[in-house]
Structure 1
Amino acid sequence: MRKIIHVSPLLALLALAACQTVQGAGRDLQSAGQAISRESQEAQAGM
């Protein structure tokens, strides 16, 4: 039981760090998607 009490804060910190990492990755993917959309619109306009 004592191990669980000592490990719980560490697990909580890891979970928070993982959330921030996933959120950052989501922003990166969103930016990449917007860039692809812009490029495709420019390509269609040039046809």
Structure 2
Amino acid sequence: MRKFVTLVLIGGSLAMTACNTVRGVATDVNSAANCTENTMKGGRC
């Protein structure tokens, strides 16, 4: 039982970390898209 709880806690921690990473990537991609759009319109990043 103790090993099972440990595995569940480790798995949950890894899943939460992955979610934060995906959100960070989405933010970076959004920022790059905004920069590209501003540059195409003659603006700056």
Percent identical across equivalent pairs? Answer: 30
Structure 1 consecutive aligned stretches of length 4 or more whose deviation exceeds 2 Å? 1-6
Q: Which 5+ residue runs of structure 1 have no aligned equivalent?
A: none
Please tell me whether Structure 1 or Structure 2 has the larger radius of gyration of its CA atoms.
1
Structure 1 length normalisation: TM-score?
Answer: 0.78
| Count of residues paired in the alignment | 43
Structure 2 length normalisation: TM-score?
Answer: 0.81
Q: Which 5+ residue runs of structure 2 have no aligned equivalent?
A: none
